Structure 1
């Protein structure tokens, strides 16, 4: 176990102080120190050219530059025996493998080399600011032992660019001070000669200490800022995901909508083509029937012609007379000339006027679609303005005030409230409408007389059911009577403030999509007076908002 330790100690003794490697052709100087022949020759040449003399790199003893370097034969033999030992060969082989492995894995890593190594520069470990040089471990030890160099400033390893950044670009001195006024690092000359002369100056050590004191607070603020930014980014990413999800949903809904529209358009096209086909069959059937009748008459006429032609050659008086009497006794109806038969009127009128009208209506339809895409209908939660203040939210039933109670109707004046009995009762909503598109649906299945619409202090528009008859009113003017649909149980009132229209729809209560199965009762153009309120009227029973 002592052999490896002895070999390791011997290797240290056989190391050249210049190249820090095992001696190669060792030579000795007059002072007794030994070096590699190439190392000492390069050092002697370098020292002689710079200073005119040569000194030992270790003890600085003066030597003659022209002195012949004598080989140290004994030291060379010891080095050779050391190199031939198995332990050293294994270590050398392992070092070669590590170097090859390091070259293959990190060829791009550039190490900073020692500036004092002459033959094979070793990796540096520290940088001296005063010398502006990088030192390996061996030369760093020598640098620290020399008294003139002890006060030099050593920093972590850095390259020439970093060294340049640590000096003042104006004076070339080390940046050793800090200007609080301008928040910059400066050199000593900047403090007394430049624009920083009258500024608040401190040392780098003091500035470092002050910065260390306020660093935690600033770090906390920056971390809080980072956390807020991360939260904002997370919110934006979440919003981005929601936008994509909603956009995908809208696209699917739009595709489904137009597929349904195309399906209904194709169905209507099929219905009309079927009607045209049926009408064509009826017309062709009449024509074929008349052709068959005429062919039968033609066959009978042709047979009579043949009989008369044959009778002309008959010479027997009796036979001629008898045969002619039979032919003459037949009924010969006169045949009038006709261009065709009377055909049923076509079920569809398709001419230039009709086509233009349909295309114009289709353009209006497309315009309506665009409008509803921009301003979708909004279903409002209406509230009552009658004496009870609970209101009538959707999916709830409320009772119209009795005839003997006071109630508010329209935008009242003090004389517009009444306690006089009335066969009908009215109520209006607190919620008013001035813009947008709104609708509400009302269940009227248990009412015999009712009215639904909107009211303003200048006009009123409503749909009224009375004696199983529907009437649309705008003020005192009855727009048009409507036939009573037996399935009229739920009525939708739709207000479009942008187009100034009020529409009434029959809403089926069983099966199917309510929006698809709506049936328009009437659309009325109303005056552009806003705000308006929803109004309800009934003679008995309850009104239910859906």
Structure 2
């Protein structure tokens, strides 16, 4: 009855008909233009105008604004009769003087009947009554003009009695419409039950995803707070380090400046004395009186400093020079005061402090959910048991009876069914203290047979490996090039992170805090599959949902 409600909304409250050229007053109510103008003429004598709906008053007649949107709605409503209205409002065929609602339709008479006409209608078996309908001709055979009573199961068609006896459906398996309908309903009920179950699972999935989204939002908020606190601490520690170093430099400056100032003062005195001697000797060299020259030289004040060290009288004077030289220290002592060594010490101290600060910082933040990773049994070696949930691979001595195909690995390996061609993803693997294992990724074109088929032993795969045979130490390998990590395993968990566009495949140990082990960097040229290899042990790939966020 939606159209009835819409029609009610589109009726003018004055004429009780659908709007004609609707206009809107300032109070928001709409009316036909002619209707509201007639109301204005009626109220005009009082000098106050009222809205017929809310009785809002207007001292002056407001300008009438044509409601374009309402005009469009009315136009569409009038030009397109409602399907609901046609179905629900069917008139009695025999009530010709006034329209009366029909309650049943007769397929034989092809007429609709109200309660009164239904009470006097024929009760003969050929008069089949149905719910009111305007398409009664569709309930009859188009060939024989008889009521459709049967269902041809071979042609999946509704037929009349003549169609089954003499028509094109002669000899076919037929059923009564009610019987065929019940069978269809039974199938539909089964489908309905499956759909309801699927809908319920979908609703549960929606709730689960919403819960994960809520937790992810909480996690990101926590991580944002942690990052903020971390960098506040970093800035404080670096500021404190800067203040300490500047204070040390100031103290060092004073320590260096005072003794050097003393040396400079004594050197200035020595320099002035040497200036006097030089001037006096220049005067003697320019004098023409030999007596004066010889008498000045005999005083011993002008002897050569290099030659005067042996004379006791002059030695005391030169000793002052030696003492002075002791203060300036020649090149060696002055180098002791220029601060070169101390500067190197300070730089080294700053470097060590910054290194200590960075060691204390956990710069890895995880706010992602792990990827769905399922193992592909088609690729599993026959000495690997794959769990029902396709997440655990266990080595076994008993060979499995799987067909030998080109896709199947020959040596204790299995690939994921999912492949990655873009984006950032991660998942975790749990190694149950296996004797020997490898985890990583490979191209689908990897060899599945020879010794070179092990992940990491070729150019088409990358892996981290370890196990009891390696004293629980990690190594990474690609194209048979082994890089020992020299790190003792402290947990049974490994995280693998892939950034396809950046060409990075990273491995982390799932300890507290999580520890980065190694990152391969290359340009990936094919899709990538997760791959695991295990001997005498089990490996579990854990993953629940897709992630779109960057890997750490």
Coarse TM-score class (shorter-chain normalised): 0.3 to 0.5
Higher Rg = 1
Higher relative contact order (CA 8 A, sep 6+): 2
Q: TM-score, normalised by structure 1?
A: 0.36
Q: TM-score, normalised by structure 2?
A: 0.36
